[in-house]
């Protein structure tokens, strides 16, 4: 999964930017967000198409970036996860 990072002040953010909201620099680069730790996990049993009927959503802290990711693994708070993405958004798996 790619995120934006300011080369000037090292601020990181999920939403693509033309300039950094912290220091106003235009030195923005895309970097890989590869892993994080589970903050919270919620299991879903009634889901919209095209998602499976049972899966979980994990709230993940990835070095200060907090995001939600789908998973079909049994995770708990504090687990380390790898982060990838598909056409529907972020996915996480236990490392």
Domain boundaries, the chain: 2-31, 33-94
Tell me which of 72 and 28 has the higher pLDDT: 28
* Model pLDDT, residue 54: 77
CA-atom Rg of the chain in angstroms: 15
For the sheet containing 28-32, what is the strand order? Answer: 12-13, 2-6, 28-32
**Interacting residues of 87 by C-beta distance below 8 A, sequence separation 6+:** none
Q: Across residues 12-21, what is the average pLDDT?
A: 89
The class level of CATH for 33-94 reads mainly beta
* Model pLDDT, residue 19: 93
88: nearest Cα among 52, 51, 37, 40:
51
Whether 28 contacts 4, CB under 8 Å: yes
Encode pLDDT of 19-59 as tens digits.
Answer: 999 999 999 999 998 899 999 999 888 777 877 777 899 99
Encode pLDDT of 75-91 as tens digits.
Answer: 999 999 999 999 888 99
């Amino acid at each position: 999964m790619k995120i934006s990072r300011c080369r000037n002040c090292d601020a990181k953010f999920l939403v693509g930017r033309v300039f950094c909201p912290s220091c106003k620099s235009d030195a923005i680069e895309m970097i890989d967000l590869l892993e994080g730790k589970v903050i919270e996990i919620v299991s879903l049993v009634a889901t919209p198409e095209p998602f499976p009927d049972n899966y979980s959503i994990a709230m993940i802290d990835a070095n200060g970036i907090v995001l939600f990711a789908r998973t079909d693994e049994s995770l708990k708070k504090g687990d380390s996860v790898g982060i990838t993405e598909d056409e529907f958004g972020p996915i996480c798996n236990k490392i």
